[in-house]
Each structure stands twice: as structure tokens, then as C-alpha cells.
Amino acid sequence: MPNIKFNYLYRDAGNYKNFSSVVFNNPQNMELSILDDLIRSKLISHHWFYADQWQVPDLHFGTWNNDLDHTFHEFESLEYTDEETNSEININVFADILKKLPTLPTSG
């Protein structure tokens, strides 16, 4: 089965965006739907997460602007890919990291 690509971004309050992806090796053929459900159970208000807690690269801009910057990153999508991995951990380790985080309540 192909690798899994985790797509995300940082969007400041001025709507300036930095996009990135992490490509994880998928040695046990994890299905996207299982990972998607896990990710969505850990997102803040259905969209956001802290990059440091999820152990993915921080996408903040080079300088901090107190009027525009915040600490959240935004989940965009998951996909299978034949691209080479760019992470030292595989998708199972990433899932284990997420499983240790609190599951957040969902609302309307």
C-alpha cells in the first residue's frame, strides 16, 4: 500500500497561509478512513491542532506579529501517495502520538 500524506497549513489572522505536508511510511497498510476518524477526534473546533503536540513541523512565518499570529495549525486533508517519505516516524507512530492526546468533544 502507498504512503500516507498529511496535508496541513498555518493561517494567520490576516489570512496569510503556509502550506505543508508530511509523508509517512505506511508499513501496516493503515486505511485513510481510520486515520481520518482519529485525526478528527483530536482537532480543536473541527479544524485546528498544535503542531508541536502532533510532532509535525511548525509552519509559522519567520517573525511573530501579536496582532496576526496564533498557535494553531489547520488540518487540510489526507491522501495516499507514492511520494517518498519525509518523516522519521511512520504512520503507526504518528497515530500513537495522536491517541495519547485528549479526544475533544464535538458540537453542532
Q: What is the pLDDT of residues 62-104, one digit of tens each?
A: 888 888 888 999 999 999 999 999 999 999 999 999 999 988 7
Q: What sign for the dihedral angle of Cα 89, 86, 35, 103?
A: positive
Q: Where are the alpha helices (DSSP H) in 1-108?
A: 32-42, 51-54, 91-99
Residue 83 is part of which domain span? 3-99
Report pTM: 0.91
Is residue 58 in some structural domain?
Answer: yes
pLDDT > 70 in the chain, percent: 96
Does residue 9 belong to any structural domain of this protein?
Answer: yes
pLDDT at residue 68 in the model: 80
Per-residue confidence (pLDDT) for residue 106, from 0 to 100: 62
Tell me the pLDDT of the chain averaged across its residues: 93
Is residue 36, in this structure, part of any structural domain at all?
Answer: yes
- 93: helix, strand or coil: helix
The predicted model gives 55-59 an average pLDDT of: 96
108 in any annotated domain:
no
DSSP string, 13-40: TT--EEEEEEEE--TT---HHHHHHHHH
Number of domains in the chain: 1
Is residue 105, in this structure, part of any structural domain at all? Answer: no
